[in-house]
Amino acid sequence: MLRSRFQGKICTWCRYLYECQLSGRTKYSQNIVEASAGFRLFKNKEIWIDAGVIGSPYTNESAISKDHLMYTRSLAPEYVPYYLSGIKFSIPINKKINLYAYLINGWQQIQDVNKGKAIGTQVEYRPTNLNLINWNVYIGDERSQVSPQNRMRYFTDVYWIYNPDGKFSITSCAYVGNQKQTFTSTIMDNYWWQANFICRYKLSLDWSISGRIEYFSDPNNIQIVSLSPNVEKGTSLYSGGICVNYKVREKAILRFEGRYFNSKKKYLFLMRVLHLNTCCG
């Protein structure tokens, strides 16, 4: 990254890992998760404007596993944008507070699918060196040819990260969303929400153990859509997991994770087993 009056960033990903995130994208953009360029407005102030495909600020987990306390991601980041397309404004207030504003095409949209733009805001607060509190908002019109019934979407999330590099680390995230839809001239409100809690304890310089509990509720299937039309509507899902981490070297981690899902819905019955995941990266 260039740091003067100008900066640029480009990140790619493996398509087979994120097939569900690529709908609506051209073949030339399907391997890009970030590609942006920006400039600093003033020589003596860190106020930046960036434009392009921008990394998503929503939730406390990105697409990079090694940066997280667990191997797999929580349910929370799987149902928010991986990326945004538009303009980002970065405004530092002081050493503890940073503000960001976004003017974007929509909820993970490379190309705009309607006439309206969406907006987002982000407040980053660091009360101490060990704590980060982040609050995000999204507001946008989600109607399109694929979903003509959609209208405004409102979404907000809050997350907390404590001591990410220390002996004992914690992170937690909660969010709620509202999708307005119109059917026969009636506007309906559809809500979904989730909450999670993750912690890690370092047993030694190389070994650590992590745990996670989470809950996801989507009673109107706005985010979690069933593949079968015959199942009961709505999603209410609990999950828990334990992960053992071994630091092979500075940039290599071997991880073993067991994850459990529990739901009363029939279409999730097959997920009610213990899964073992391993990772080296």
Q: 3-state SS of the chain?
A: CCCCCEEEEEEECCHHHCHHHCCCCCCCCCCEEEEEEEEEEECCEEEEEEEEEEECCCCCCCCCHHHCCCCCCCHHHHCCCCEEEEEEEEEECCCCEEEEEEEECCCCCCCCCCCCCEEEEEEEEEEECCEEEEEEEEEEECCCCCCCCEEEEEEEEEEEEECCCCCEEEEEEEEEEEEEEEECCEEEEEEEEEEEEEEEEECCCCEEEEEEEEEEEECCCCCCCCCCCCCCCCEEEEEEEEEEEEEEECCEEEEEEEEEEECCCHHHHHHCCEEEEEEEC
The torsion of the CA quartet 274, 278, 161, 250, rounded to 10 degrees, works out to 160
Q: Of 205, 198, 136, whose CA–CA distance to 161 is shortest? A: 198
Instruction: Write the Ramachandran bin of 184: left for phi over 0, alpha for psi from -120 to 50, otherwise beta.
Output: left
Q: How far apart are CA 277 and CA 260, in angstroms?
A: 12
Q: How far apart are CA 136 and CA 159, in angstroms?
A: 9
Q: Give the per-residue pLDDT at 97.
A: 98
Chunk the chain into consecutive blocks of 10 residues (it has 281) and report each block's average pLDDT, rounded to whole numbers: 72 55 51 82 90 93 84 92 93 97 91 83 98 98 85 96 96 97 89 98 97 96 74 84 93 92 65 41 39
Q: Give the phi and the psi of residue 17 in degrees, each rounded to 5.
A: -80, -25
Name the one residue in this structure whose structure tokens are 């360029």.
37
**Residue 85 and residue 102 in contact, taking contact as beta carbons nearer than 8 Å:** no
Nearest 5°: the CA angle 169, 172, 175 is: 165
Q: How far apart are CA 48 and CA 199, in angstroms?
A: 34
Q: Give the per-residue pLDDT at 115.
A: 79
Handedness of CA 221, 227, 233, 237 (dihedral sign): negative
Q: Give the per-residue pLDDT at 273.
A: 38
Provide CB contacts within 8 A for 94, sequence distance 6+. Answer: none
Q: Give the per-residue pLDDT at 228.
A: 61
Q: Give the per-residue pLDDT at 167.
A: 97
Cα 141 versus chain centre, distance = 20
